[in-house]
């Protein structure tokens, strides 16, 4: 063998040995390849200061809506002494006049005792216990430890919240923005031991005042009587000057608040907080200087359009109006439950609503009120101007229609069921449609009227 061949064989042997070693090493390696590096986490989105402020404002507004009395205890406790009357009312009676109980405020042990029948719902002491738990919707009160109430005030939620009755009639989860159509405001206020200051304001005696208050009935309140002092200003179809408590939901994009369009949500919140709830705050409205229309408000002793807090006392209303409006604007109108209307009929009714029935002339979708200045004279809608004339503008607002089913949905008092228009003159939606069919000469057949009602129930 030549030297060259020998060296070649040696080289091949070395290469073969190296290859075998590499192959052996690979076969004996039980460790897989390293995992790929994880992708870098995405950078957090920048904090939006406007959304942060909106979330906080919503929370603040909800707290104000549900819990703030604006200092009105001075009136309800110190002036007319309603606390003394409420201290004697048992839960069964309280529920019968429309007061509601927030089930989420009840401790589990109390819930169990109520279900087991261990709680005396005929005992005023139980009412005091519920008030101490802050469980009575819209009422802020605390017992004095001796069978009485040391302080009592009311909040926006008294009239503009109800409950879903999920625990029992009148007891359940809160439904903010829903009008409490069971609430008999007049009957409750008439229980106050000292109504003389209110009677003096209106220029009547106490028995007359009580008869007016008790004439309102469930779900109604007369805000204007404390401005014009006239309980006789009402349509012949109804028996009092009080109007239905309106919803506080579904108001985004709606120009004017309340049936007779006194003003924006903020205006009405200030009006109610200061002049109706008797909170401690400021309210300016020179329209109330009209002594012919508003003799009580314009009287020099009252001067309601220029109300300020007592000397040296803080304004407990004005700083809260922004958050309160924000929360109310956030409240969605409730959606009709499945099966509560005939879907096929509602579809036919929609075509009528936008066409032959002429409803969409004013109730413009999706707001279902005029997209702009939504005020109309009574003659335009075929009714009197009696209630409108008690307002500064003398007109009626085109009421938004979302959530009409709620007129009946959570109402437990048969006398409060249904009722439509500002004063509840129409008992059912069928009555409303029949009115327009006549007043506007629509010539809709009974079947078409029925379809239109089903569409209204679907909104």
Tens digit of each residue's pLDDT (9 = 90 or more) over 344-375: 999 999 999 999 999 999 999 999 999 999 99
The pLDDT > 90 percentage for the chain reads 83
pLDDT tens string 223-264: 999 999 999 989 988 988 999 999 999 999 999 989 999 999
Dmax over CA atoms of the chain, in Å, equals 142
The pLDDT of residue 3: 46
What pLDDT does residue 417 have?
Answer: 81
As a whole number of Å, the end-to-end CA separation of the chain is: 106
pLDDT tens for residues 376-425? 999 999 999 999 999 999 999 999 999 999 988 888 888 888 799 999 99
Distances (CA, A) of 219 to 89, 171, 303, 432: 20, 17, 29, 19
pLDDT band at 29 (very low <50, low <70, confident <90, very high): low
Higher pLDDT, 114 or 33: 114
**pLDDT at site 170:** 96
Please, are residues 400 and 250 in contact by the beta-carbon 8 Å criterion?
Answer: yes
Tokens 């209303």 correspond to: 317
Mean of the per-residue pLDDT values for the chain? 92
pLDDT of residue 23: 45
Q: Is the distance from CB of 246 to CB of 258 less than 8 angstroms?
A: yes
Does the predicted model carry a pTM greater than 0.85?
yes
pLDDT digits (tens, 9 = 90+) for 65-124: 999 999 999 999 999 999 999 999 999 999 999 999 999 999 999 999 999 999 999 999
Mean pLDDT of 426-439: 96
Q: What is the pLDDT of residue 55?
A: 95
Look at residue 19 in the predicted model and tell me its pLDDT. 42
Class of residue 378 by CB neighbours under 10 A (exposed 0-12, middle 13-18, buried 19+): middle
Q: What local confidence, expressed as pLDDT, does residue 305 receive?
A: 97
Spell out the domain ranges in the chain: 343-458
- CA-based radius of gyration for the chain: 33
* Residue keyed to tokens 């019968």: 96
CA distances from 198 to 47, 205, 227, 229, 385 (A): 52, 9, 12, 11, 27
- Taking only the tens place, the pLDDT of each residue in 300-338 is 999 999 999 999 999 999 999 999 999 999 999 999 999
Give the CATH fold of the 343-458 domain.
Cytochrome Bc1 Complex; Chain D, domain 2 (1.10.760)
Higher per-residue pLDDT: 41 or 149? 149
Q: What pLDDT is recorded for position 25?
A: 45
Give the pLDDT of residue 44: 86
Token digits of residue 42: 């995405």
């Amino acid at each position: 063998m030549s030297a060259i061949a020998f060296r070649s064989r040696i080289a091949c042997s070395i290469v073969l040995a190296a290859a075998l070693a590499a192959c052996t090493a690979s076969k004996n390696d039980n460790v897989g390849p390293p995992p790929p590096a994880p992708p870098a986490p995405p950078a957090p989105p920048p904090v939006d200061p406007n959304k942060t402020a909106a979330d906080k404002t919503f929370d603040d507004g909800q707290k104000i809506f549900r819990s703030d009395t604006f200092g009105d205890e001075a009136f309800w406790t110190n002036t007319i002494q309603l606390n003394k009357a409420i201290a004697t009312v048992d839960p069964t009676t309280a529920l019968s006049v429309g007061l509601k109980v927030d089930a989420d405020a009840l401790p589990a042990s109390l819930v169990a005792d109520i279900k087991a029948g261990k709680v005396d719902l005929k005992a005023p002491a139980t009412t005091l216990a519920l008030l101490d738990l802050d469980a009575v919707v819209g009422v802020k009160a605390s017992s004095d430890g001796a069978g009485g109430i040391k302080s009592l005030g009311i909040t926006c939620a008294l009239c503009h919240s109800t409950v879903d009755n999920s625990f029992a009639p009148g007891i359940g989860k809160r439904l903010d923005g829903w009008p409490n159509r069971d609430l008999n405001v007049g009957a409750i206020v008439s229980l106050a031991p000292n109504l003389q200051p209110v009677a003096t304001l209106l220029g009547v005696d106490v028995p007359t005042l009580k008869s007016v208050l008790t004439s309102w009935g469930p779900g109604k309140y007369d805000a204007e009587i404390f401005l014009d002092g006239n309980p006789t200003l009402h349509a012949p179809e109804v028996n009092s000057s009080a109007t239905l408590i309106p919803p506080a939901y579904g108001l985004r994009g709606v120009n004017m608040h309340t049936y007779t369009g006194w003003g924006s949500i903020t205006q009405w919140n200030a009006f109610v907080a200061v002049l109706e709830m008797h909170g401690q705050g400021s309210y300016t409205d020179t329209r109330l200087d009209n002594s012919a229309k508003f003799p009580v408000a314009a009287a020099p002793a009252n001067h309601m359009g220029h109300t300020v807090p007592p000397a040296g006392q803080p304004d407990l209303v004005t700083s809260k109006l922004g958050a309160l409006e924000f929360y109310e604007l956030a409240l969605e109108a409730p959606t009709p439950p499945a099966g509560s209307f005939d879907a096929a009929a509602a579809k036919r009714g929609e075509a009528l609503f936008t066409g032959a029935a002429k409803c969409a002339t004013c109730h413009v979708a999706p707001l279902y009120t005029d997209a702009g200045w939504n005020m109309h004279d009574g003659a335009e809608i075929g009714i009197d101007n009696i209630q409108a004339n008690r307002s500064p503008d003398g007109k009626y607002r085109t009421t938004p229609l979302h959530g009409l089913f709620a007129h009946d949905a959570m109402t437990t008092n048969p006398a409060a069921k249904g009722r439509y228009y500002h004063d509840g003159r129409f008992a059912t939606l069928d009555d409303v449609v029949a009115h327009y069919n006549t007043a506007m000469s629509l010539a809709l057949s009974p079947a078409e009227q029925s379809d239109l009602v089903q569409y209204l129930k679907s909104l």
